[in-house]
């Protein structure tokens, strides 16, 4: 927590606004709109935001929705909640996100058969935007709407525009592990304010106007509570600082491994600001000295938790029968990618311990003294960063 959250939560208790209505919700949505430039509705999770977004785009039973295969399962499950089928597309290497070239091929083939997908979900993985211009161009050409899953990318941008504000609909998560959190929660933003109104209506059981409990549409209990929105208001105040800290973590690791062979920071695409929500590295067993899995085991033995990058959806038992185009890049990233400890409150001492453990696991002779670690390339952190502050 940043410090201001408790005051907003206390206000909710003092004023007895302890439901899914209240001033914190209104203010949180307004402040989020100022950040992203899009009207917003606060909901109970990022998953709920994605499902509402798909429904807004008209996704329903029997439809196809294109999704990247390399993502967390919550990007895709809402497609199934809507009765639709996911179709998976591989990643490209410059950002690890949806490959625009494969998307163009697939849309071309499906258009020729007269069976275009109802929507495309683009995910901005680990804090970095997908290459949105070619994706939006080809989707626009075929008239297929795009939903941005920006759950992992709040605070990042694409060519100066905030993640989640580039397509028709965007979804964000405030789950406990995200760059800012409401302990659990999400936000849906849309270009069209009418869409946001509809999503707000559906998120509160779709109760029609009037006194009677009259329902002409199905809804959900997906609204965020006024208490949690208070946490969100406090968290928004520290977003800028959190982005700086996440970037510092990543660049400090990168600098500390710069003399090692076979370990490289996830690419930082030139078109945008990568928050490095998670510090992800690719391990090349031959150069590095051990495999990614051995590295995870070595870190674990030292009491350091690390994780592989997401397991591609086309490899998941629940999606084994789904149509998939490519997948070799996502499989390679899954096989070699590691997420190192990345918390905003990771201390230099803790990070030094992780770094030493990685260096020891590599078995490569250390050309540096034990206390070699620089404070990270601060110019890299600050150089690009003021764009967010200027917003």
Ligand X SMILES: Cc1ncc(COP(=O)(O)O)c(C=O)c1O
Closest to ligand X by CB, 42 or 74: 74
From residue 143, alpha-carbon distances to 63, 107, 118, 129 in Å are 15, 10, 9, 22
Closest to ligand X by CB, 122 or 355: 122
Report in angstroms how near the CB of residue 254 gets to ligand X at its nearest. Answer: 23
> Which uninterrupted H or E stretch holds 232?
helix 226-236
Report in angstroms how near the CB of residue 371 gets to ligand X at its nearest. Answer: 36
Closest to ligand X by CB, 55 or 110: 55
Report in angstroms how near the CB of residue 357 gets to ligand X at its nearest. Answer: 26
Report in angstroms how near the CB of residue 185 gets to ligand X at its nearest. Answer: 7
Residue carrying the six token digits 């959250």: 5
The DSSP line for 233-299 is HHHHTTHHHHHHHHHHHHHHHHHHTTT-SSEEEPP--TTEE---SSEEEEE-HHHHSS-HHHHHHHH
Contact 351, 253 (CB under 8 A): yes
* Residue sitting closest to ligand X (CB): 46
Binding site for ligand X (CB under 6 A): 45-47, 71-72, 74-75, 123, 149, 151-152, 173, 175, 186
3-class DSSP state for residue 191?
Answer: coil
Report in angstroms how near the CB of residue 45 gets to ligand X at its nearest. Answer: 3
Closest to ligand X by CB, 147 or 357: 147
The size of the chain, in residues, is 391
Closest to ligand X by CB, 239 or 373: 239
Closest to ligand X by CB, 132 or 151: 151
Report in angstroms how near the CB of residue 123 gets to ligand X at its nearest. Answer: 5
The DSSP line for 15-34 is HT--SS-SHHHHHHHHHHHH
């Amino acid at each position: 927590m940043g410090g201001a959250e408790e005051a907003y939560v206390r206000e909710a208790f003092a004023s007895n606004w302890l439901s899914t209505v209240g001033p914190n919700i209104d203010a949180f949505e307004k402040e989020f709109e100022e950040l992203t430039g899009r009207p917003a509705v606060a909901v109970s999770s990022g998953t709920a935001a994605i499902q509402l977004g798909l429904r807004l785009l008209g996704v329903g039973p029997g439809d196809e929705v294109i999704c990247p295969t390399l993502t967390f399962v919550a990007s895709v499950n809402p497609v199934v909640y809507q009765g639709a089928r996911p179709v998976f597309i591989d990643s490209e290497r410059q950002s690890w996100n949806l490959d625009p070239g494969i998307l163009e091929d697939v849309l071309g083939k499906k258009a020729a058969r007269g069976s275009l997908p109802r929507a495309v979900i683009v995910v901005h993985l680990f804090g970095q935007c997908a290459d949105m211009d070619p994706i939006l161009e080809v989707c626009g050409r075929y008239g297929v709407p795009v939903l941005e899953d920006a759950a992992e990318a709040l605070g990042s941008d694409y060519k100066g525009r905030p993640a989640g504000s580039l397509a028709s609909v965007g979804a964000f998560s405030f789950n406990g592990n995200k760059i800012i959190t409401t302990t659990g929660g999400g936000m849906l933003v849309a270009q069209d304010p009418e869409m946001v109104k509809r999503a707000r209506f559906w998120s509160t059981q779709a109760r029609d106007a009037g006194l009677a409990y009259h329902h002409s549409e199905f809804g959900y209990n997906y609204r965020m509570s006024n208490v949690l929105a208070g946490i969100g208001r406090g968290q928004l105040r520290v977003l800028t600082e959190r982005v700086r800290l996440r970037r510092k973590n990543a660049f400090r690791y990168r600098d500390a491994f710069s003399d090692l062979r076979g370990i490289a920071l996830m690419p930082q695409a030139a078109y945008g600001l990568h928050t490095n929500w998670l510090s992800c590295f690719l391990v090349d067993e031959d150069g590095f000295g051990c495999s990614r899995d051995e590295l995870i085991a070595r870190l674990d033995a030292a009491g350091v938790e690390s994780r592989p990058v997401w397991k591609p959806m086309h490899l998941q038992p629940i999606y084994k029968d789904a149509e998939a185009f490519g997948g070799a890049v996502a499989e390679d990233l899954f096989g070699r990618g590691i997420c190192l400890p990345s918390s905003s409150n990771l201390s230099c001492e803790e990070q030094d311990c992780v770094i030493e453990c990685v260096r020891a696991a590599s078995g490569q002779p250390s050309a540096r003294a034990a206390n070699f670690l620089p404070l990270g390339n601060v110019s890299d952190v600050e150089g690009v960063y003021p764009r967010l502050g200027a917003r």
